[in-house]
């Protein structure tokens, strides 16, 4: 992500940056992201031409591309699911995460989509928040070892397809595909924001990408939160 920010002003078009070793990995809200040897860390840099709210929906585009990349390298979709807002699960554990960062206010000058995948190893679970999902690796869960370069080829290919769909048809088809792969849809989950903690039935993701819960106090649309099962 730091390299993406450095080179973004010099780029004429989209570009992937693959980091074979990270010394300052980070996740959402500044959390540390541990990156053991053999795992995947890459960032896609884009120059989108949409309002910021539309640009932010590319987290769902990236999630679908990740799902397809796992299917490509393993040959199966069993055990894979997508966790709102930005994680990929394998057999119930977190195998990948997505982080979006942008430059610009009323317009987005560039968008960096950072993606981390536990290919070879899962980081230690000692620093997890209470209730957070355990990390897993592709190798430990499937017995399949994939190099970062091989995974990038599958991911970049899948992302290009979904990016074309998104820019041509908008969020609706992306949203439909994402919901078809969503973890815990129709089940009771917990969403923690900076100011509140809500429990309710995961009803849907709306047209703005918000998590929609059916709670005891009614239907609530949540733009950003940490979700616990």
Do both 81 and 165 map to the same domain?
A: yes
Buried b (16+ CB within 10 A) or exposed e, 14-39: eeebebeebeebbbeeeeebbbeebb
- 108-167 confidence digits (pLDDT tens): 899 999 999 999 999 877 666 667 889 999 999 999 999 999 999 999 999 999 999 999
Do both 119 and 216 map to the same domain?
A: no
Give the domain-ending residue among 180, 196, 217: 180
The domain that holds 203 is classified in CATH as: 2.30.30
Do both 212 and 136 map to the same domain?
A: no
Do both 131 and 223 map to the same domain?
A: no
Do both 94 and 123 map to the same domain?
A: yes
Q: DSSP letter at 13?
A: S
The domain that holds 165 is classified in CATH as: 3.30.930.10
- 169-227 confidence digits (pLDDT tens): 999 999 999 999 999 999 999 999 988 899 999 999 999 999 999 999 999 999 999 99
Mean pLDDT, all residues of the chain: 92
Do both 56 and 88 map to the same domain?
A: yes
The runs of H, that is alpha helices, within 42-147 are 52-55, 58-74, 138-142
Do both 136 and 156 map to the same domain?
A: yes
For the record, the structure tokens of 117 come out as 């995948």
Specify the 3-state DSSP secondary structure of 153.
helix
Question: Helices then strands (H, E): number in the chain?
Answer: 6, 11
31 pLDDT tier (thresholds 50, 70, 90)? low
The residue segments making up the domain with residue 96 are 2-180
- The pTM score is 0.93
- Give how many domains the chain has, as a whole number: 2
Do both 136 and 78 map to the same domain?
A: yes
Do both 201 and 144 map to the same domain?
A: no
Q: What are the phi and psi torsion angles at 89 (to 5°)?
A: -110, 145
For CA atoms 105, 57, 28, 41, give the dihedral sign. Answer: negative
């Amino acid at each position: 992500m730091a390299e993406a920010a450095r080179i973004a002003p010099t780029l004429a078009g989209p570009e992937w940056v693959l980091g074979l070793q990270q010394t300052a990995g980070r996740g959402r809200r500044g959390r540390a992201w541990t990156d053991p040897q053999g795992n995947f860390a890459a960032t896609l840099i884009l120059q989108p031409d949409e309002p910021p709210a539309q640009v932010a929906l590319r987290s769902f585009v990236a999630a679908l591309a990740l799902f397809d990349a796992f299917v490509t390298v393993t040959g199966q979709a069993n055990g894979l699911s997508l966790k709102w807002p930005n994680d990929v699960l394998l057999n119930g554990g977190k195998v990948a995460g997505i982080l979006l960062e942008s430059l610009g206010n009323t317009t987005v000058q560039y968008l960096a989509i950072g993606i981390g995948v536990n290919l070879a190893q899962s980081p230690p679970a000692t620093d997890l928040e209470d209730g957070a999902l355990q990390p897993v690796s592709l190798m430990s869960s499937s017995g399949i070892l994939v190099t970062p370069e091989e995974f990038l080829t599958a991911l970049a290919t899948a992302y290009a397809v979904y990016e074309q769909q998104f820019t041509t048809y908008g969020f609706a088809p992306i949203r439909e595909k994402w919901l078809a792969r969503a973890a815990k849809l129709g089940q009771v989950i917990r969403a923690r924001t900076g100011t509140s903690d809500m429990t309710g039935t995961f009803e849907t993701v709306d047209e703005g990408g918000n998590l929609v819960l059916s709670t005891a106090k009614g239907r609530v649309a949540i733009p950003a939160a940490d979700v616990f099962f």
